[in-house]
Amino acid sequence: MKEMLEYQKLEIELNKLKKNADNVEAKNVMAQMASYVKDAQNKSGKLESDASKLLSEYETLKANYDKTTDQVNNILKNDVGKMSAEEVTAMFGEVNKLSSDLFMLERKLNFIITNAKQLLKNFEITRNNVKKAKIKHREAKEQLDETIKSYEPKIAEVEKKLAELEKKVDKTLLAKYKTLKSENVFPVFVPLTQDACGGCRMNIPTSRLSKLNADGYITCEHCGRIIYIQK
Ligand SMILES: [Zn+2]
């Protein structure tokens, strides 16, 4: 029983070391940064598709603008001297209409240019934030690796002790211990505390107490832990 308790103590120590080696804070930062980068990548994809829509809108409007400009230039090539007063009036009417079309097209084009500039700015901001997030992720990863590395020798030492002790402990007790541990009953061995189970605090009947005294240990009927007498 003495070796078995030492074994359990070492396993508790090992669990504590493993828990400390698991740098939760660094892991959280890593997860946050990874999720940010993923979102940003989706956002960049959306910005790219917006930009390509804007470009095609721009090209359509620009073609329209060039065509209208050509129409105006062609009309203005007419020799006014050879035209009747009605023809001249009609011609100026046509030019005026086309001019106002050009004005509207120009406004739309400027609007697109402003939007494109804003898009580009957002794109830059996102790209810079992704860079920062990647740096933070790398730093957190380095911290995590460092923490793990700093605990490695201690963990190895305890694991070695456990392996050595495993050869000495009572095989029956070790088997019981491993079964209960695999069922998430931990610690498996608890001392008798004021005639009660040291794990679940359930009182032990007198008949069971004499069995405990005779055998050195009993199984708690309530929580399944193994109760021993602390010397
Ligand atoms: Zn119990």
Domain 21-156, CATH: 1.10.287.1490
pTM of the predicted model as reported, rounded to 2 decimal places = 0.68
CA distances (Å), origin 69, targets 72, 95, 100, 105:
5, 10, 11, 11
Extents of the domains making up the chain: 21-156, 174-228
pLDDT tens figures, 147-204: 999 999 999 999 999 999 999 999 999 999 999 999 999 999 999 999 999 999 999 9
From the CB of residue 226, how many other CB atoms can be counted at a distance below 10 Å?
22
Token look-up 């608890």 returns 190
Centroid of ligand 1 to alpha carbon of 161 (angstroms): 28
Centroid of ligand 1 to alpha carbon of 178 (angstroms): 17
d(CA 23, CA 27) in angstroms, rounded, equals 6
d(CA 177, CA 30) in angstroms, rounded, equals 37
Those residues whose beta carbon sits under 5 angstroms from the ion ligand 1 are 197, 199-200, 220, 222-223, 225
Q: What is the chain's pLDDT, residue by residue, as a tens digit (231 residues)?
A: 899 999 999 999 999 999 999 999 999 999 999 999 999 999 999 999 999 999 999 999 999 999 999 999 999 898 888 889 999 999 999 999 999 999 999 999 999 999 999 999 999 999 999 999 999 999 999 999 999 999 999 999 999 999 999 999 999 999 999 999 999 999 999 999 999 999 999 999 999 999 999 999 999 999 999 999 988
* CB contact at 8 A, 48 and 40: no
pLDDT at position 23 is 93
